Amino acid sequence: MFGRVRSVAAAFAALISLGIAGCDRVSSRSANADDWRADIKQVRMGVTGGEDGSVVLGTFKQYQVLLESVTGLPTELYRATDYNGIIQAMASGQVDVGQLGASAYASLDSQVGPKAAPILINRSNDGATGYYSGILVRADSPYRKIADLKGKTIGYVDFNSTSGYLYPRWKLRDQGIDPDKFFSKSAISGGHTQGVLALANRQFDAVAFVASGGTPETGFTSGAYHELARRGLIKIEDFRIIWTAGPIPNSPLTMRTDTPQPFQDIVRGALAAMPYDNPQAFADTGVNLGNTLVATDRSAYLEIIAIRNQEIAQRRADRSTGEKAK
Amino acid sequence: MIRFLALIFALIALPVTASAAPVRIGVVIDKATGCDQSLAKTLGGEAFAKHLQKRLNRPIILCGFANRAAAMQALAAGEIELSPSDQASYLPVRDKVRSILAARSTKGAGRVLALALVTKASSRTAPKLLIGAKPIFVASGEIAHDAPLAGLRAAGTDPSKLGREIFAGGLDQAARDLRSGKGDVLILDAGRYQRLCRSDKPNEQPCADLKEIWRGRPAVSQALAVRRDMPSDLRYQLISIYIAMHLEAPEAFVFATKATPAVAAFDPTEAEALVEIR
């Protein structure tokens, strides 16, 4: 009898001490239960060249430091060589959070639906939340307008690039130009930086590129084209923008929604507070001065999702026509 | 004994919501009611309370106060976790509380980041030294003029004590006006500053002969405040929930912005966003 009472008492004491230990752990970091930290163990952030490859490392280093600080968890950066790498990493759950271009998010959405969601988007100092796609030519070329490029070659960035592939092709079609027939040849350069360098090396007559930090009226101040010039690899005056389209919704920071809710909220809240809590660190991410991060959701990308579906349908139709012709 | 053990296990298995401390949110209403579980229903804020409760996994209790000052005193005393505030109610308790969120209006660009530049030789090295200085603006309007001036006021410059305003009509002309001494200080938004001072050539610094004496955003007139010692997890969770409320829970957003017309969304703020003369 006494033995049974003793073992019950010991079990009770053990349970109580577990509870106390649990409370200590919680109160040391948070007023909330933080069991999710034990569940996820680390933060995994996906890194690609994005829409502006040259700033990507600085951007993600600052985010890595912040996320480690606010979650108390090691934060790993997973690098992908192209857009598809990060899309697949997020789709398979190997990455919790990543910055995707709008088109890349649309691709992810088609694969996992609501299991991933855009959470934050850059908002510029004047309140804009979009950027532009442009077509760039060499300044010493005779091309002054889009019609001049008929029968010429064009370089796209990546099939999953919004400004460097999806959006300009859609907009050209909207303007009555079928890009697959209008240009004599097109190819994928592999990145915004690579595209501009390929143009400089005369591998293309024109390239699609990202134009941000302004509008067609004010001129642009950021994007791979400007970053390359600042690094001394090209001269701005050696090129000319002959066509722009936009604004395109900015690249969203995207999260897996099957991660614990407190984790999602802490990550989103800390990132959104960064421009105010630590403006220097936020500036070091390479964003345009005065930018902030504001909440977004899938509805902001519905047009891009529709354009991507249309593009895929067009490619399938073209392939089918080509196969029949054989 | 079995019943005793069952009781212990039942206690341990209680959901977090039931055992976690509630989040008490101050609201300004006609009269002080204190913290009252039924207040959300009375005020039509059930969707709001439900949304926060679901996301925080903690009970939400609304606490009624007759004015912001009383709510902020309660916040400072640890009687509530989140309170509406304004400049007058914030200042007396600012050592214990901080601003975390403010409503952004549907009209205008919001809290535009701006800068003030003088020539390297100028003795006007701080906003408070701009009394009598002739300010140069690129243009009129909210982003080029009104917001930068409001930001400067928060930093300690009384706009009424500035000299005659010069509107240059263009960015390059504004810079020329400063360099030529036509005006004493160039006040401009961050977008224009970037276009003026960030070169597309390596190692070229177009503004090397100029000196930045201020950079900031306008103060906010109202904000949501928390205690400075609030655990960062809860602070970030609240920020996340509020900034996306207009998208994720429109009904809750209507309640949260009831007292403020035409709100587009909530934005995070600096700790001292309510303070003018920072």
Q: Please give the Cα distance from A110 to A309 (Å, whole number).
A: 9
Q: Please give the Cα distance from A67 to A43 (Å, whole number).
A: 8
Contact residues, chain B, for A229 at CB < 8 Å: 200-202
Flag whether pLDDT at A270 surpasses 70.
yes
Strand order through the sheet with A206-211:
A185-188, A153-156, A206-211, A130-138, A239-249
By Cβ distance, the residue of A15, A127, A299 closest to B12 is: A15
Please choose, from the candidates B235, B250, B253, B259, the residue with its C-alpha nearest in 3D space to the C-alpha of residue B84.
Answer: B259
Instruction: Name the E strands within chain A.
Output: 43-47, 75-79, 97-99, 116-123, 130-138, 153-156, 185-188, 206-211, 239-249, 253-256, 292-295
Determine the distance in angstroms separating the CA of B235 from the nearest CA of chain A, rounded to an integer.
8
Q: What is the mean pLDDT of residues B246-273?
A: 96
Q: Please give the Cα distance from A307 to B207 (Å, whole number).
A: 42
Q: What is the pLDDT of residue B67?
A: 97
CB contact under 8 A, A232 and B100: no
**A279-316: pLDDT as tens digits:** 999 988 888 999 999 999 999 999 999 999 998 888 88
Of all residues in chain B, the one with the smallest CA distance to A222 is: B200
Contact residues, chain A, for B269 at CB < 8 Å: 276
Return the H-helix or E-strand segment holding B43. Answer: none
Q: What is the mean pLDDT of residues A123-148?
A: 96
By Cβ distance, the residue of B100, B230, B247 closest to A295 is: B247
Secondary structure letter of residue B201 according to DSSP:
S
Average pLDDT, chain A: 86
Q: What is the mean pLDDT of residues B29-42?
A: 94
Q: What is the pLDDT of residue A12?
A: 38
Q: What is the pLDDT of residue A166?
A: 95
Flag whether pLDDT at B3 surpasses 90.
no
Q: Please give the Cα distance from A60 to B71 (Å, whole number).
A: 40
Report which of residues B223 and A5 the model is more confident about. B223
The token duo for A170 is 């859609």
Q: Where are the alpha helices (DSSP H) in A33-178?
A: 35-40, 56-71, 83-91, 102-112, 167-174
Contact residues, chain B, for A273 at CB < 8 Å: 100, 236, 239, 268
- Could you tell me what percent of chain A has a pLDDT over 90? 68
- Could you tell me what percent of chain B has a pLDDT over 70? 93
The C-alpha torsion from A27 through A30 and A32 to A38, rounded to 10°, is -90
- Could you tell me what percent of chain B has a pLDDT over 90? 88
Q: What is the pLDDT of residue A47?
A: 81
Flag whether pLDDT at A3 surpasses 50.
no
The token duo for A199 is 């143009």
**A64-115: pLDDT as tens digits:** 999 999 999 999 988 887 888 999 999 999 999 998 999 999 999 999 999 9
Contact residues, chain A, for B57 at CB < 8 Å: 32-33, 261-262
Q: Please give the Cα distance from A127 to A219 (Å, whole number).
A: 17
Determine the distance in angstroms separating the CA of A179 from the nearest CA of chain B, rounded to an integer.
31
CB contact under 8 A, B233 and A29: yes
Query: Which domains, from first to last, does chain B contain?
Result: 11-107+220-268 (3.40.190.10), 114-216 (3.40.190.10)
SS3 for A194-216 is HHHHHHHCCCCCEEEEEEECCEC
Determine the residue type at A157: V
Length of chain B: 278
